[in-house]
Amino acid sequence: MDKKDVQKILVALDEVYGTSKEGFLHFADWQLLLAIMLSAQSTDKQVYAVLPKLWERFSKIEQMAEAPVEEIETYIKSIGLYKSKAKNMKKCCQQIIEEFNGKVPMTVNELVNLAGVGRKSATLFLADAYNIPGVTVDTHVLRISKRLGWAKGNNPVQVEKELMEVLPKENWNRINFQLIYHGRDICMARKCYCDRCFLKECCESIGVSDN
């Protein structure tokens, strides 16, 4: 795919899905990180629903670090994998306090050493919190970028590197939510609705129905 086709797709994505998204409710950097952790394998809608009461109870990082895991669980029971997430939330806050003086670190390498924080969550946090450019690769981004011919890698790290070479830096932070929206509505894993896809003129995989 040449640069002109890449640019056409990026312009179309901007027009249809916008260049910014609604962020998670938070009043501190650690709360944003935990909200992103909660969103893994859960919908944003589910996360939005639990955050007001969660932050009302845990307004300070020390409160989360000192709370019983069972209490944390009661606030996030509607979230997928809530038991393991509650443990990670507590441990993560303890690490931030003990290792980083209560301030969330600002590099991917440091973030991924926190409990429950993977590369995807780390990159997304840095983008949302500080607008630090980074490509966040989830299943939608992995699938659609390969279908478009932007990447050939089979794992998120490989695809992240490829997309950073293909895409202009100013598009890195928003490509994630744009392709998530596109993947939920049109370019799904098991079925592509190519007949109504506004990217079909530039797509290398018209009619693909699986990964």
The active-site residue out of 120, 128, 191, 210 is 120
The active-site residue out of 21, 83, 138, 200 is 138
| 120 catalytic per annotation | yes
- Distance (Å, rounded) from C-alpha 19 to C-alpha 208? 27
As beta bridge partners, residue 192 has 187
The catalytic site residues sit at 120, 138
